[in-house]
């Protein structure tokens, strides 16, 4: 890609970008939220049209006006948020739009042997008959890649492929990507996770403010060098070495929580949680071991079958449970793990999403009439404070990148100065500069007396932020440790069902 330029109104997303990838390599593309990475790859895939610039694919000039053109050239893209139909089988999702025959049964019979061979070749093994809505997240990621390869992709563009994967699923994906590279597939990895780039890629390109600022072999790079290139300054996201204050009173106490899913599995099994003022409690565990339903129970999104909860001098007992509206009224704020499904209305403007759940407060409502001017004004201030890009409160929520959507949700909940904060995956899809800012805000809330429960799949994050760590395994809390007694080895052993 030579001399690529792309503007969205006054915003220059790509400015005279030159980007080259060697065939059969793993190439990392990194940068802050809004640096222009996804825009550049969307131009290459035909989702956007560049204002100027030239593209060559396998040494030949290429005109890519739409995704069909990219696919015909052997370019495939796997998006950060999966493009799958949950009600269809894995096989039907792969075939969708590429059936090749009017008779679906015959088309399936023709495709199955080719897919079996492709799965054997790549290591992307799946149950093709399984309904996508029932697949684990890691299997959905593999399905997306398999679907792209089935369409003949020799250049694979992956946008934040590990954003929703557990560490174990990420390692499995890395093994697949290395295998694809060794077989001649070219892979471009768009990510914020610098350790992944260093662990996986051959070459890395760094973008900042729409421009390429660095390109080098990964063998010559380290985390500090890449972080500095991304942000333009030194970044600190490690453990806070400041002396810790003693925590205060218990602000939320839950006891005997039990939640059994539709398959009669105890996802939350006799769990006790107490959150203290001025303390960040980290919740660690392999994905699927009860962290998500526990977070939903404590926030009022889900009622347990049994258990009790004390919050702000009020008592709740199953099945008469806390509601999200009551939780907000009692000073409990919640940042859900899935921002698009639980935290935003994607078709709403940013200023509307920025007040969701708080639109009836006195600041935004008077005598039953919503004060749109106040909502819009406050959102513009939040966008500036949290460096949400683009800085336009009128844009739809869906127009922002995943990391900027996350910053919008965090800004909304942090702004309330809650007494209790439940936060799930706070830095998922967020760049390293924003991670530093979010960590500082979380610590500031803690120091102001907020009780925080932090759910994260990143052990580095748990260790950097927590004062105390709970570990869940198979729906139970199997560890309750001071962070001074924690390490990745200790937490990993507990997460896998071992003992100390």
pLDDT tens-place string over residues 419-438: 999 999 998 878 787 888 89
| Position 37 in a domain | yes
| Position 336 in a domain | no
DSSP-based three-state secondary structure for 299:
helix
Q: Quick one: 219 and 187 in the same domain? A: yes
Q: What average pLDDT score do residues 1-22 get? A: 93
- Alpha-carbon distance of 23 to 309, in angstroms, equals 57
| Position 337 in a domain | no
pLDDT for residue 105 is more than 80? no
CATH number where 216 lies: 3.40.50.300
Q: What average pLDDT score do residues 290-307 get? A: 95
| Position 324 in a domain | yes
- Alpha-carbon distance of 341 to 343, in angstroms, equals 6
How many CB atoms are closer than 10 A to CB 272? 13
| Position 43 in a domain | yes
Q: Quick one: 327 and 253 in the same domain? A: yes
| Region of poorest pLDDT, from 44-53, 64-73, 133-142, 323-332 | 133-142
Cα–Cα separations (whole angstroms), residue 156 to 2, 131, 314: 19, 25, 53
Q: Are 192 and 30 in contact (CB under 8 A)?
A: yes
Q: Are 17 and 42 in contact (CB under 8 A)?
A: no
Please identify, among 391, 415, 439, the residue that sits at the C-terminal boundary of a domain.
Answer: 415
Q: Are 308 and 255 in contact (CB under 8 A)?
A: yes
DSSP-based three-state secondary structure for 59:
coil
DSSP-based three-state secondary structure for 182:
helix
Q: Quick one: 113 and 216 in the same domain? A: yes
Q: Look up the domain containing 385 and give its range.
A: 343-415
Q: Quick one: 226 and 352 in the same domain? A: no
Calculate the dihedral angle through the C-alpha atoms of 79, 81, 82, 88, rounding to the nearest 10 degrees.
-150
Q: Quick one: 381 and 451 in the same domain? A: no
Label residue 239 by pLDDT band (50, 70, 90): low
pTM, two decimal places: 0.73
C-alpha 36 chain-centroid distance: 18
Element (H, E) at 56: strand 52-57
The pLDDT score that the predictor gives to residue 282 is: 97
The pLDDT score that the predictor gives to residue 242 is: 63
| Position 360 in a domain | yes
| Start-end of H helices in 284-366 | 291-299, 324-329, 350-353
pLDDT for residue 121 is more than 90? no
Which residues are 454's β-sheet partners? 282, 423
pLDDT for residue 177 is more than 80? yes
The pLDDT score that the predictor gives to residue 243 is: 63
For the purposes of burial, counting CB atoms within 10 Å of the CB of 362, is it exposed (0-12), middle (13-18) or buried (19 or more)?
exposed
Please identify, among 206, 231, 256, the residue that sits at the C-terminal boundary of a domain.
Answer: 231
The pLDDT score that the predictor gives to residue 266 is: 93
Q: Quick one: 390 and 480 in the same domain? A: no
Q: Quick one: 200 and 279 in the same domain? A: no
Q: Quick one: 103 and 126 in the same domain? A: yes
The pLDDT score that the predictor gives to residue 402 is: 79
Question: Across the chain, what does the average pLDDT equal?
Answer: 89
The pLDDT score that the predictor gives to residue 274 is: 97
| Region of poorest pLDDT, from 155-164, 199-208, 329-338, 442-451 | 155-164
Q: Quick one: 179 and 251 in the same domain? A: no
Please identify, among 231, 265, 295, the residue that sits at the C-terminal boundary of a domain.
Answer: 231
- Alpha-carbon distance of 312 to 204, in angstroms, equals 50
Percentage of the chain with pLDDT > 90?
58
pLDDT for residue 237 is more than 70? no
Which distant-in-sequence residues (6+ apart) come within 8 Å of 433 by Cβ?
A: 32, 230, 231, 235
Q: What average pLDDT score do residues 403-423 get? A: 93
DSSP-based three-state secondary structure for 250:
strand
pLDDT tens-place string over residues 300-340: 999 999 999 999 999 999 989 999 999 999 999 999 988 88
Q: What average pLDDT score do residues 199-221 get? A: 94
3-state secondary structure 124-174: CCCCCCCEHHHCCHHHHHHHHHHHHHHCCCCEEEEECCCCCCCHHHHHHHH
pLDDT for residue 99 is more than 70? no
Which distant-in-sequence residues (6+ apart) come within 8 Å of 381 by Cβ?
A: none
DSSP E strands: which ranges in 332-372?
332-335, 365-366, 369-370
First vs last C-alpha separation in the chain: 53
Most confident of 171-185, 220-234, 345-359: 345-359
Label residue 273 by pLDDT band (50, 70, 90): very high
The pLDDT score that the predictor gives to residue 145 is: 87
What is the number of structural domains in the chain?
3
The pLDDT score that the predictor gives to residue 301 is: 95
Q: Quick one: 270 and 150 in the same domain? A: no
Most confident of 15-24, 126-135, 244-253, 456-465: 15-24
The pLDDT score that the predictor gives to residue 191 is: 86
pLDDT for residue 238 is more than 70? no
| Position 338 in a domain | no
pLDDT for residue 241 is more than 70? no
| Region of poorest pLDDT, from 115-119, 233-237, 373-377 | 233-237
Q: Quick one: 243 and 226 in the same domain? A: no
pLDDT tens-place string over residues 442-500: 999 999 999 999 999 888 899 999 999 999 999 999 999 999 999 888 888 888 787 76
Q: Quick one: 410 and 425 in the same domain? A: no
The pLDDT score that the predictor gives to residue 62 is: 95
| Position 290 in a domain | yes
- Alpha-carbon distance of 343 to 405, in angstroms, equals 9
Q: 250 or 489, which is more confident? A: 250
């Amino acid at each position: 890609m030579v001399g690529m330029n792309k503007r969205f109104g006054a915003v220059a997303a790509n400015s005279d970008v030159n980007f080259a990838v060697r065939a059969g390599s793993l190439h990392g593309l990194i940068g802050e939220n809004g640096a222009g990475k996804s825009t550049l790859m969307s131009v290459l895939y035909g989702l956007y049209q560049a204002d100027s610039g030239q593209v060559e694919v396998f040494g030949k000039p290429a005109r890519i006006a739409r995704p069909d053109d990219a696919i015909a050239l052997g370019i495939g893209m796997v998006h950060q948020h999966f493009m799958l139909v949950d009600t269809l089988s894995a096989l039907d999702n792969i075939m969708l739009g590429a059936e090749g025959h009017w008779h679906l049964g015959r088309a399936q019979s023709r495709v199955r042997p080719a897919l079996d061979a492709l799965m054997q070749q790549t290591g992307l093994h799946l149950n093709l008959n399984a309904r996508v809505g029932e697949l684990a997240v890691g299997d959905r990621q593999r399905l997306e890649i398999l679907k792209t390869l089935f369409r003949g992709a020799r250049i694979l563009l992956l946008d934040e492929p590990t954003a929703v994967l557990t560490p174990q699923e990420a390692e499995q994906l890395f093994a697949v990507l290395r295998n694809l590279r060794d077989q001649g597939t070219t892979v471009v990895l768009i990510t914020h996770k610098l350790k992944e780039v260093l662990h996986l890629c051959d070459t890395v390109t760094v973008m900042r403010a729409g421009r390429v600022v660095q390109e080098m072999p990964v063998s010559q790079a380290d985390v500090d060098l890449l972080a500095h290139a991304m942000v333009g300054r030194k970044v600190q996201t490690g453990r806070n070495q400041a002396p810790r204050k003693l925590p205060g009173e218990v602000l939320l106490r839950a006891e005997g929580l039990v939640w059994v899913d539709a398959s009669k599995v105890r996802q939350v099994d006799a769990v006790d949680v107490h959150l203290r003022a001025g303390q960040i409690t980290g919740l660690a565990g392999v994905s699927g071991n009860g962290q998500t339903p526990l977070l939903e129970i404590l926030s009022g999104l889900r009622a347990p079958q049994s258990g009790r909860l004390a919050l702000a001098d009020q008592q709740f007992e199953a099945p008469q449970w806390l509601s999200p509206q009551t939780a907000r009224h009692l000073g409990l704020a919640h940042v859900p793990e899935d921002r698009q499904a639980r935290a935003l209305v994607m078709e709403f403007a940013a200023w509307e999403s920025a007040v969701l759940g708080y639109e009836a407060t006195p600041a935004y409502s008077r005598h039953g009439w919503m004060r749109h001017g106040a909502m819009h004004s406050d959102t513009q201030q939040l966008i500036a404070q949290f460096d949400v890009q683009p800085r336009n409160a009128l844009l739809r929520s869906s127009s922002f990148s995943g990391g900027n959507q996350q910053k919008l949700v965090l800004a909304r909940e942090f702004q309330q100065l809650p007494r209790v904060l439940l936060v799930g995956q706070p830095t998922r899809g967020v760049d390293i500069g924003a991670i530093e800012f979010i960590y500082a805000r979380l610590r500031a809330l803690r120091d102001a007396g907020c009780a925080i429960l932090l759910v994260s799949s990143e052990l580095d994050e748990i260790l950097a932020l927590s004062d105390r760590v709970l570990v869940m395994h198979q729906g139970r809390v199997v560890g309750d440790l001071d962070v001074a007694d924690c390490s990745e080895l200790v937490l990993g052993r507990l997460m896998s069902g071992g003992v100390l």
